[in-house]
Amino acid sequence: MNQPLVSLITVNYRQTKVTLELLESIRKNSFTSLEVILIDNDPAELFDFESVLPGLRLIRTSENLGFAGANNLGMRAASGEYFFLVNNDTELNPHLIHQLLGCFTCPDIAAVSPVIRYFDEQEKVQFAGFTPIHPITGRNRLIREQTRNTTPTPYFHGAAVMLPAWIVKECGLMPEDYFLYYEELDWSEQIRKKGYRLLVCQYAFILHKESVSTVKNSPLKLYYQTRNRVHFMRKNSGSYLLFLAFFCLISLPKKAISLKLTGSKPHQQAFKNAINDSLFFPKFGKQDFAA
């Protein structure tokens, strides 16, 4: 039986070591009909990645394109019948790609994510699905209880997701206006609005070295998550005014007080900039202060 060609796309940004570890896990994978595309999103740091994984397609950018921009560049260059987007801070198990392909049993299945486990605590589940985003709070949560089969999810996880190439052609590429965080949630919304289903393959898993590419609770992360939460709700919520009231009256002052008590000036400035760039003078894409 002929295997479909799968284009595995990953992005490196100033994380040569973890990217090399991912490439090594790809080399050990049992799936052979594989095109590996690495977007090197860091023009300041050059490394000969092709010497580690023969046949690798390396595409270097002239600037940091962000998560969506870099992955979209990879998908435009890809030749596969399926696209498998994976974070560079992950490692594959040998049968992962076979297992994900086996979930595409109906034409209305648009995307499949594996269960995501923590690399340092491999029995601990980080992601086994998402709950829907609440229409007023603009919040949702990760599902961490793993089951046996495939389960529906309102959003796939950007750290690892497989999609047929024809779905991307029909529904469009990942939105680039976020630069970092929330783009896969928005993309999931656009795909589901066309009547397609998103699944989590509960018997497939990938290992994730969380917060390698962005420091946990960094000002950069705070800025983009705050700004993009408002942007996502503006684009996708049918109750945006109710969300805005909740955000301004409850969420915003609560966070501002919390940051004031911690005394972290960079975090306070990042939060202030995020509010300004989301509510008063909306800005999208990359913002230089947070780079």
What is the structure's pLDDT at 1? 61
> Which portions of the chain are predicted below pLDDT 50?
213, 290-291
| Burial group, residue 271, by CB count within 10 angstroms (0-12, 13-18, 19+) | buried
What is the structure's pLDDT at 279? 95
pTM of this prediction? 0.93
Q: For 217-248, write each residue's pLDDT tens digit.
A: 899 999 999 999 999 999 999 999 999 999 99
> Which position has the token pair 């589901």?
192
What's the CA gap between 9 and 34, in Å, rounded? 10
- Count of CB atoms situated within 10 Å of the CB of 89: 21
Q: For 163-203, write each residue's pLDDT tens digit.
A: 999 999 999 999 999 999 999 999 999 999 999 999 999 99
Asked if 284 and 178 count as a contact pair (C-beta separation under 8 A), the reply is yes
